[in-house]
């Protein structure tokens, strides 16, 4: 099954751009729930996930962070405000970039945060130009994770840090193969996943030293069910944007993913040797 190209992913996000707020809120990523009795809202749970990932890193005031796949800028704004850092965000969706720029201007943060349309597969930045590279739920879209990780390593200064939140493959009794095939089938190639060990090997191959590797699957799992419920309720609004076929396909994916035991979620960090 062919993975969509970055351009196709960008067009997809552009088509959904103004609907996604109602689906996910301002953060376009999963939430973190402590346990099944935790009733925190989708919006608060999403901010928690940002904070969990940030908590795994050392972030110093004045650090320069590159956000790969920045959405409409919510995580970068949160990080810049909490840690007093500078951030540059890139997205493959032009509409997201426009919205991120508007949000930063109204938050009065345009002197420290900027956003641009760019493909993370081909980063338009010089070598060693960032202290931190941050990729919150974006690498799964990209055609070649290993390549993007090498790009991240290239733009990190020696001693620089990487933070990644990404879907991952969980093994079952028979290993990874059956789960990988089911995830690939349910996503029609849109969501590619690898196991945690393979992820760490890719980090090493990119010249990085793996750090934290947390399996947070049970904490993020409620996100798919909640997304399916919210999305189903948006049917009439969504159809003019994406058509019935795409709508039904997306909804069936959310439902399939919510029940897929092999589809996990990981928080990872790494650093570039000094």
Ligand X SMILES: C[S@@+](CC[C@H](N)C(=O)[O-])C[C@H]1O[C@@H](n2cnc3c(N)ncnc32)[C@H](O)[C@@H]1O
Residues that bind ligand X (CB under 6 A): 6, 9, 13, 27-29, 69-71, 74-75, 90-93, 96, 119-121, 136-138, 141-142
Question: Is 213 in a helix, a strand, or coil?
Answer: strand
Closest contact distance (angstroms) between CB of 87 and ligand X is 12
Q: Give the burial string for 85-107 (b: 16+ CB within 10 Å, else e).
A: bbbbbbbbbebbbbbbbebbeee
Environment class of residue 159 by beta-carbon count within 10 Å: exposed (0-12), middle (13-18) or buried (19+)?
A: exposed
- Min CB(135)–ligand X separation in Å: 7
Nearest approach in angstroms of CB 172 to ligand X is 26
Cβ 230 vs Cβ 22: under 8 Å: yes
Q: How far is the CB of 255 from ligand X (least distance, A)?
A: 18
End-to-end CA distance of the chain: 40
Name the minimum Å distance from CB 247 to ligand X: 18
Q: How far is the CB of 175 from ligand X (least distance, A)?
A: 28
In angstroms, give the least distance from the CB of 79 to ligand X. Answer: 11
CB-wise, 171 or 234, nearer to ligand X?
A: 234
Instruction: Name, in order, each residue with C-beta under 8 angstroms of 177's C-beta and a sequence gap of 6 or more.
Output: none
Pull the structure tokens for residue 110: 């345009």
Q: Which residue is nearest to ligand X (CB)?
A: 69
The nearer residue to ligand X, 68 or 208, going by C-beta atoms, is: 68
CB-nearer residue toward ligand X: 4 or 171: 4
Helix (H, G, I), strand (E, B) or coil at 207: coil
Nearer to ligand X, 74 or 196 (CB): 74
Structure tokens at 267: 């928080």
Query: Looking at beta carbons only, is 174 or 270 nearer to ligand X?
Result: 270
Of 57, 79, 35, 28, the residue nearest 267 (C-alpha): 57
Nearer to ligand X, 29 or 161 (CB): 29
Q: How many helices (H) and strands (E) does the chain have?
A: 11, 7
Closer of 69 and 179 to ligand X (Cβ): 69
Q: Which residues contact 165 (CB under 8 A, 6 or more apart)?
A: 29, 30, 49, 53, 135, 136, 137, 265, 266, 267, 268
């Amino acid at each position: 099954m062919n993975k969509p190209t970055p351009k196709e992913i960008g067009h997809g996000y552009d088509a959904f751009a103004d609907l996604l707020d109602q689906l996910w809120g301002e953060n376009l990523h999963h939430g973190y729930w402590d346990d099944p009795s935790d009733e925190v809202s989708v919006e608060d749970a999403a901010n928690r996930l940002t904070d969990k990932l940030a908590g795994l890193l050392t972030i110093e005031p004045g650090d320069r962070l590159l956000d790969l796949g920045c959405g409409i800028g919510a995580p970068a704004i949160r990080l810049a405000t909490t840690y007093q850092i500078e951030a540059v965000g890139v997205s493959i969706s032009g509409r997201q970039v426009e919205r991120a720029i508007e949000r930063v201007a109204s938050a009065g943060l345009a002197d420290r945060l900027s956003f641009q349309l760019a493909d993370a597969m081909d980063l338009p930045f010089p070598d060693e130009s960032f202290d931190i590279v941050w990729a919150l739920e974006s690498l799964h879209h990209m055609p070649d994770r290993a390549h993007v990780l090498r790009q991240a390593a290239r733009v990190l200064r020696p001693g620089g840090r990487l933070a990644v939140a990404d879907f991952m493959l969980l093994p079952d009794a028979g290993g990874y193969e059956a789960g990988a095939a089911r995830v690939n089938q349910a996503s029609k190639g849109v969501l590619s996943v690898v196991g945690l060990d393979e992820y760490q090997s890719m980090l090493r191959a990119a010249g990085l030293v793996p750090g934290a590797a947390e399996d947070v699957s049970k904490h993020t799992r409620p996100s798919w069910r909640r997304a399916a419920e919210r999305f189903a309720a948006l049917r009439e609004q969504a159809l003019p944007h994406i058509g019935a076929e795409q709508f039904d396909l997306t909804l069936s994916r959310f439902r399939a993913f919510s029940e897929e035991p092999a589809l996990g979620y990981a928080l990872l960090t790494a650093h570039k040797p000094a």
